[in-house]
Amino acid sequence: MEEHKLDQEEGRIDLYRLLPELGRALRRLFWVPLLLALLGATAMGVRAWRSYVPRYHSEATFTIETSASALSDMAGSGSYYDKATAEQLAKTFPYL
């Protein structure tokens, strides 16, 4: 009867002894899950980058034109302000 009782106690797991051992193992090997997560994220990022196919394509074209207006002088040339503004817009829009 005594022998049967000892066999049952040997098969049991003592969680109070197991948890500190698990903590020590995690402190020693904490870098393994981090490294695996980093490698997995990198692999998935490369896969997404290589297999990316754009679904839409857009393009915009614009023209800036100076025209004779009510502000033109008697000789028919446009005012300096309109010409300077058009030149400035032509230089600025490509950077937008």
| Tens digit of each residue's pLDDT (9 = 90 or more) over 77-91 | 556 667 777 778 778
Q: What is the pLDDT of residue 65?
A: 62
CA distance 66 to 86: 7
Residue appearing with tokens 């899950």? 33
Q: Which comes out higher in pLDDT, residue 3 or 96?
A: 96
pLDDT in tens, 1-45: 455 554 456 667 788 888 889 889 888 988 998 999 999 999 999
Q: Which residue has the tokens 């797991």?
A: 13
Contact by Cβ (8 Å): 78, 66: yes
pLDDT tens by residue, 45-66: 999 999 999 888 888 776 666 5
Pure H helices in 1-96: 2-10, 15-28, 31-51, 80-92
| Side-chain half-sphere CA neighbours of 32 within 13 A | 5
Instruction: Output the pLDDT for position 42.
Output: 98
> What's the pTM value of the predicted model, to 2 decimals?
0.40
What is the three-class DSSP state of 27? helix
